[in-house]
Amino acid sequence: MNATHSIFQLVMNASPLVQGLMLVLLLISFASWYTIFHKGALIRKARNQAIAFEREFLGAHNLNNLFQGSLANRHQSGGMERIFVAGMQGFEQMSAQTNDDGKRLDFAQRAMKAGFQRELDALEAHLPFLASVGSVSPYIGLLGTVWGIMNAFMGLSTAEQSTLAAVAPGIAEALIATALGLFAAIPAVLAYNRYVAEVDRIALRYESFIDDFSNALQVSK
C-alpha cells in the first residue's frame, strides 16, 4: 500500500468530528490560497501603477494637462493617480469659492488624505483574514488531533491486547488534522507578513507623493 492510499484510508476511517475538522481546514486553506494570489496581484498592480504615475508626475510640465489626462483615464488609474485627481478637484472646487491660497491648499490636502485612506483600506482588505487563518488553523487541527488520540486510547479498553499497533492508526489519522492545520496556517502567516510590509511601503510612497504634490500646488498656484 503506497503512502497516498494509506493517508486516504486514514482520513476515511477517521471519526466524523475529525473528518469534519479536516474538511473545514481544507476549505480554509483553499480560501487562504485564493486570497494570497488575488491580494498579491492587486498589491503588485498598485505598486507598479504608483511607480509609473510618479514618474509621469515628476516629468509633467503642467499640472492641469496631467489632471485632464488623469480624468480621461480615471477608470484605469491607480491609487496614486486617484489621490492626485482628488487633490486637484478639491483645489479647483475651493478656488471657485475663495482666493485664499492657504484655504485652497488645505482643502486639497484634506481631499488627498481622504483619498489616501480609501486606497489604504482597499490595499489592506482581506489581510485580517490571512492573519486569522494563521492563528486559528493550528488550533483547529490540534482539536482534531486531541479528539482522535482520545478515541484511539479509549479503543484500548475494548482491545484484547494493548499494543502500539492497536492505537497507531488512530494516532496517525489524528495527526493528519494537525498537518492540515499547519498546511493552512504557514502560507497564510508568510503571505500576511509580506503583504503588510508591501502595503506599508506603498503607503509611504503615497504619503511622499502627497507632500510633493502639495509643494507643487503651492509653487504653481
The residue-averaged pLDDT of 89-94 equals 87
d(CA 84, CA 57): 9
* Amino acid letter for position 2: N
Residue 125 main-chain phi, psi, to 5 deg = -60, 135
Residues 6+ apart with CB under 8 A from 117: none
Please check the confidence at residue 157 and state whether its pLDDT lies above 70: no
d(CA 162, CA 102): 85
Q: What is the sign, positive or negative, of the torsion defined by CA atoms of 54, 58, 64, 69?
A: negative
Residue-wise pLDDT tens digits, 36-59: 999 999 999 999 999 999 999 988
Global pTM? 0.83
| Grid cell in block for residue 25 | 481546514
Domain layout of the chain by residue ranges? 15-220
Per-residue confidence (pLDDT) for residue 5, from 0 to 100: 46
CB atoms closer than 10 angstroms to residue 208 = 12
The residue-averaged pLDDT of 122-141 equals 94
Q: What is the sign, positive or negative, of the torsion defined by CA atoms of 70, 76, 80, 85?
A: positive
DSSP symbol at 161:
S
d(CA 184, CA 32): 7
Per-residue confidence (pLDDT) for residue 206, from 0 to 100: 95
Looking at every residue in the chain, the average pLDDT score rounds to 85
23 or 167, greater pLDDT:
23
d(CA 209, CA 119): 14
d(CA 219, CA 221): 6
Residue-wise pLDDT tens digits, 103-116: 888 999 999 999 99
d(CA 175, CA 56): 55
